[in-house]
Structures are given as C-alpha cells and as structure tokens.
C-alpha cells in the first residue's frame, strides 16, 4: 500500500473483463434470437406488414398467394355457407344507402341500376323490407283502431298479431321470389342480369311504402286510396324504368317492364286491402 492506493492483482482484473465480455455476448445472443420477422423490403403490393413468426407466415411467398388460397377454399357450393361470400354485399356506407333510397323518389330518372351496377348491396333491401314489415303491422293495427273509434257500431276491437306473420310472408316472399322469377325469365330470353342486382332493385323499391304506411292510418278511404295509388305508381315506375338498365338496353325490356309494373301495383293493392281496411 503506497500513497493511499490499493493495487489489485492482475489476475482479478483480467477475470472481471472476461466476465463482462461473456455477459454482453450472451445478452446480444438473446436479443438476436427474439427478433421478429419482417417481410422483404421489395414487396410491391404494399399490403405486407408485421406478423409474428409463429403464424406460419412466409415472408418470401409470392404476393397474392394467400388470397388465391382463400378464393379456392370458397369456390364451389361450399362458398354458399361462408360469411365471406356475402360480405361484399353488406360493405356499404349509410350515406350510400340513403342516396339509393332517395332515388326511388325520382323514378323518372331510371339511373338506379347504373349506380349499383358495380356495387349492388343487400344491406339496404334487408332493412327496408324489415322496416316495412313492422310498419305495416303496427300502423295497420293503429289504423283499424282509429276506424273502430269513428264507427257508430263499435264491436270489440283487438290487436291482430297475425298482421306480423302475414306482412313478413308478403314482403319477404315478394322481394325474394319475384326478382328470382325475373332472373330466370331474363336468362331464358338470353339476357344476363345478376340476381343480386335485381334483389337490390326490388328491395329499394319498397322504400316508398314506408312513408305511405304512415299516411294510411287516417280513417278516410279517399285519402287512403290516393296515397296507396301514388306510392304504387311511383314504385312501379321506378322498377319498370330501371329494368331497361338492368337488361343492358335490350329491345325486350318492354315486356319485362310492363310485367314488373303490374307486379308492383298488385303489391300496393294487397297492402291496402289486407292491412288498411
């Protein structure tokens, strides 16, 4: 010991340095083993991103190979039971649904099929038809109650729950079977029209009957017949005029258009005579 300093043995100093180097080497090796796998930097589709290395992801696979496998798994009749098959028909914004529903207020334009040609949806038709079922059931019973109040000979009034089943069978059956029938007829005539596009057209055509149902509650037969006539004519014109676009401008659209017009008029009469009497 000299001057207050303590000299350490050379062997102890070398041992400390060796232990520090070993610790750093082990830590570096541990960190390298836990690095995540990232895709190659030359990905061209811009869709590749981080994925854990345990999900079977191959960073060197060809772009689109995974999507191709999904399409193959959904092909054939098995795709009918897959949610992914129907997902594109419900991929729509609320603003688009409102815009398409507003097209029924201007049936003379006849541009509805052009708007939905590349993106027909089933979201709007599903909720429009469901809303119409509940509207016809509730407002039909309320209309009968108002007629009961004004009647001089007042029999016992009761809420007819059967309106719900009848309305569901009528509305859902109409938008499912009528477009399906037109689809096969057009195929027979040599005109290729997507079935989803026809379902979309008929589904949105029912929108006019929802506000009409509100006006049909007033117990005045002249007003009821006027309202249902206007709603039926507007809905029938909407379907008939847009049928030409769905048929790609074929010269055979007149027959199909007249048939579609008459079918809508019959639906309006059934709604009036069965639920608002």
* Cα angle 243, 182, 168; round to 5: 100
Residue 2: phi and psi, rounded to 5, are -145, 125
The upper half-sphere exposure of residue 226, i.e. CA atoms within 13 Å in the direction of its Cβ, equals 7
Rounded distance between C-alpha atoms, residue 217 and residue 27, angstroms: 80
Residue 157 lies in a domain: yes
Residue 56 lies in a domain: no
Strands (E), the chain: none
What residues make up the domain containing 162? 95-101+110-275
Residue 90 lies in a domain: no
Rounded distance between C-alpha atoms, residue 135 and residue 215, angstroms: 11
Q: List the end-to-end C-alpha distance of the chain, in Å, as a whole number.
A: 118
Closest CA to 186 of 201, 173, 208: 201
Helix axes of 162-188 and 123-150: crossing angle, nearest 10 degrees: 140
Residue 46 lies in a domain: no
pLDDT by residue for the chain (277 residues), tens only, comes to 444 444 545 445 445 545 554 554 554 444 444 544 444 444 444 444 444 444 444 444 444 444 444 444 445 556 666 677 767 778 888 888 898 899 888 888 878 888 888 888 889 999 999 999 999 999 999 998 888 887 766 667 788 889 999 999 999 999 999 999 999 988 888 888 888 889 999 999 999 999 999 999 998 899 999 999 999 999 999 998 888 777 766 677 788 888 899 999 999 999 999 999 8
Q: Supply the pLDDT for residue 12.
A: 53
* Cα angle 39, 42, 43; round to 5: 60
Residue 10 lies in a domain: no
Is residue 205 within 8 Å of 268, Cβ to Cβ? Answer: no
Cβ atoms within 10 Å of 221's Cβ, excluding its own: 12
Q: Supply the pLDDT for residue 22.
A: 56
Residue 225 lies in a domain: yes
Specify the 3-state DSSP secondary structure of 27: helix
- Radius of gyration of the chain from its Cα atoms, rounded to whole angstroms: 34
Residue the block writes with tokens 């090796």: 29
Specify the 3-state DSSP secondary structure of 3: coil
Over residues 20-72, the pLDDT tens digits come to 545 545 544 444 445 444 444 444 444 444 444 444 444 444 444 444 444 44
Q: Supply the pLDDT for residue 78.
A: 61
Q: Please give the tally of structural domains in the chain.
A: 1
Q: Supply the pLDDT for residue 131.
A: 95
Residue 114 lies in a domain: yes
Residue 254 lies in a domain: yes
Over residues 130-149, the pLDDT tens digits come to 999 999 999 999 998 888 88
Strands (E), 41-165: none
Written as six digits, the tokens of 79 are 């795709």
- The pTM for the full model equals 0.69
User: Which conformational region is residue 155 in: left (phi greater than 0), alpha (psi within -120 to 50 degrees), or beta?
Assistant: beta
């Amino acid at each position: 010991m000299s001057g207050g300093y303590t000299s350490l043995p050379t062997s102890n100093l070398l041992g400390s340095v060796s232990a520090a180097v070993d610790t750093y080497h082990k830590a570096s090796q541990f960190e390298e083993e836990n690095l995540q796998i990232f895709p190659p930097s030359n990905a061209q589709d811009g869709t590749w991103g981080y994925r854990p290395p345990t999900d079977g992801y191959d960073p060197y696979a060809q772009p689109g190979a995974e999507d191709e496998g999904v399409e193959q798994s959904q092909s054939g009749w098995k795709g009918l039971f897959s949610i992914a098959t129907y997902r594109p028909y419900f991929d729509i914004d609320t603003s688009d649904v409102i815009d398409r529903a507003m097209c029924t207020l201007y049936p003379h334009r006849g541009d509805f099929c052009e708007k939905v040609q590349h993106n027909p949806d089933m979201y709007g038709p599903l909720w429009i038809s469901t809303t119409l079922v509940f509207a016809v059931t509730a407002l039909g019973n309320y209309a009968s109650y108002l007629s009961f109040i004004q009647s001089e000979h007042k029999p016992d009034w009761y809420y007819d729950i059967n309106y719900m089943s009848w309305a569901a069978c009528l509305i859902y059956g109409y938008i499912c079977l009528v477009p399906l029938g037109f689809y096969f007829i057009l195929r027979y005539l040599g005109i290729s029209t997507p079935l989803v596009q026809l379902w979309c057209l008929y589904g949105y055509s029912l929108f006019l009957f929802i506000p009409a149902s509100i006006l049909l509650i007033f117990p005045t037969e002249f007003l009821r017949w006027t309202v249902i006539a206007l709603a039926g004519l507007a809905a029938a014109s909407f379907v008939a005029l847009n049928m030409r676009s769905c048929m790609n401008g074929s010269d055979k659209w007149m027959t199909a258009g007249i048939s579609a017009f008459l079918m809508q008029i019959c639906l309006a009469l059934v709604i009036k005579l069965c639920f608002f009497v």
